[in-house]
Amino acid sequence: DSGVTQTPKHLITATGQRVTLRCSPRSGDLSVYWYQQSLDQGLQFLIQYYNGEERAKGNILERFSAQQFPDLHSELNLSSLELGDSALYFCASSVTSGGAEQFFGPGTRLTVL
Partner 1 sequence: GENVEQHPSTLSVQEGDSAVIKCTYSDSASNYFPWYKQELGKRPQLIIDIRSNVGEKKDQRIAVTLNKTAKHFSLHITETQPEDSAVYFCAASKSRGSQGNLIFGKGTKLSVKP
Smallest separation, CB 106 to partner 1 (Å): 5
Instruction: For residue 99, state whether it binds partner 1 (rule: CB under 8 A).
Output: yes
36 CB contacts (<8 Å, ≥6 apart)?
43, 44, 46, 87, 88, 89, 90
Contact by Cβ (8 Å): 98, 41: no
Please, what is the minimum distance in Å from the beta carbon of residue 82 to partner 1? 23
- Which member of 25, 33, 108, 110 binds partner 1 (CB under 8 A)? 33
Based on the shown chain and the rule CB under 8 A, indicate whether residue 38 belongs to the binding site for partner 1: no
**C-alpha to C-alpha distance for 2 and 86, rounded to whole angstroms:** 24
Nearer to partner 1, 15 or 101 (CB): 101
User: Exactly one of 36, 93, 102, 108 binds partner 1 (CB under 8 A); which one?
Assistant: 102
Selected from 22, 26, 55, 73, the binder of partner 1 by CB under 8 A is 55
Residue (of 17, 111, 43, 15) closest to 34 by Cα position: 43
